Amino acid sequence: MRYSIVIATYNRAADVRDTLASLAGLRPDGDWEVIVVDNNSTDGTRSVVEQAARSFPAPLRYVFEREQGRSPALNAGIRLASGEIIVTTDDDVRVEPDWLTRAGEGLSRLQCDYVGGRVLPIWGAAPPPWLPDRGGKHWAVIALLDYGPQPIEFGARVPLGVNMAFRREAFARAGLLDPATGRKAGTLLGQEVREWCIRARAAGLRGFYVPELVVRHIIPASRLNKRYFRRWFYWRGISRARLYEKAGLDMEAPEQTSLDFRTVPHVLGVPRYLYRKALASLAACLRATVRRDAVAAFEHELWVWFFAGILRQRALR
């Protein structure tokens, strides 16, 4: 088996149905399979997958994973995968027929262990004026990514799990995804890919951004508002604080950790300099509000929400 596609899903039967219909159009350069991991859904996910399997052009397997969370669900699928190349994506994407072939070509051409590609939007509503048209940190909130037209080795920049492909042996060397850092129902935790990439790099693995590897991701209208962005940044702070607790990684830029935080003064478990930055961000937000620069004000406000998540996790640990 050349390719295994692994999808984790939770109570999104209609999305799964449409995503499987898109995957059915794949025309890869080798044998392939799809594994849908149901993470405790209470809707009709199982029947949707079983119905699709009757006419699907490749083996389509349904797996139930009781442990809640995106990471345990993906890990269950990865363990069962037969492919030499394991591809992860979400239950709300659309792909081109050559998607898997592009993944294989990227791994071969760049002689690397994993690749990630562009994630472009299918808008569920008109994007708000404060959201950039292309790239930037706001795109991460809604799981979009575009690093440009040239391949880039991952390091300071990381891929999105919605569009990644791994050589099977990468998991043998770096391990599976960390269940403590991935998304769980009722939360917006989401540092599992970043944490895995840091571990992979430490194990000597190399990964590259491949611009030709593209999925289109449906962005629901419910996420195109400031309330969702505030909540996402708050949970990002919680997630980064968990990484800090686990491995002492810089909470602002984990891949560029340079400080020995054992020597840094802390208040309530948070490095003291982050309080200064939070106050500076709050002041900058107020100044931008006074001059009626709504875009800049929101940028600074989001950093304050990020800090609030860090403080919540560290102070209540």
Contact criterion met (CB below 8 Å) for 305 and 236? no
Residue 153: CB atoms within 10 A of its CB come to: 13
Element (H, E) at 276: helix 272-290
Q: Which residues are within 8 A (CB) of 293 and not within 5 positions of it... i.e. 6 or more apart?
A: none
Range list of β-strands (E), 49-202:
60-64, 85-89, 93-95, 114-123, 152-153, 164-167
CA 234, 239, 240, 241 torsion-angle sign: positive
Collapsing DSSP states into helix, strand and coil, what is residue 127? coil
Percent of the chain scoring above 90 in pLDDT: 86
pTM, two decimal places: 0.93
Amino acid in position 50? E
Q: What is the mean pLDDT of the chain?
A: 95
Judging by DSSP bridges, how do beta strands 3-9 and 32-38 pair with one another?
parallel
Contact criterion met (CB below 8 Å) for 118 and 149? no
Nearest CA to 85 out of 29, 140, 129 is that of 29
Q: Which CATH class is domain 3-223?
A: alpha beta
pLDDT in tens, 51-81: 999 999 999 999 999 999 999 999 999 999 9
Query: Does residue 44 or residue 247 have the better pLDDT?
Result: 44
- Compute the distance between CA of residue 80 and CA of residue 163 in angstroms, rounded to an integer: 19
pLDDT in tens, 98-145: 999 999 999 999 999 999 999 999 999 999 988 877 777 789 899 999
Number of C-alpha atoms within 13 angstroms, CB side, residue 145? 23
Q: What is the pLDDT of residue 112?
A: 98
Contact criterion met (CB below 8 Å) for 75 and 179? yes
Q: What is the pLDDT of residue 311?
A: 97
The torsion defined by the Cα of 147, 153, 154 and 159, in degrees rounded to 10, comes to 50
Mean pLDDT of 274-283: 97
pLDDT at 186 over 80: no
pLDDT in tens, 142-166: 999 999 999 999 998 999 999 999 9
pLDDT at 193 over 90: yes
Indicate the DSSP class of residue 162.
Answer: G
Residue at token pair 């129902």: 185
Indicate the DSSP class of residue 5.
Answer: E
- Compute the distance between CA of residue 101 and CA of residue 68 in angstroms, rounded to an integer: 32
CA 51, 52, 56, 59 torsion-angle sign: negative
Element (H, E) at 298: helix 294-315
Task: Indicate the domain borders of the chain.
Answer: 3-223, 226-315
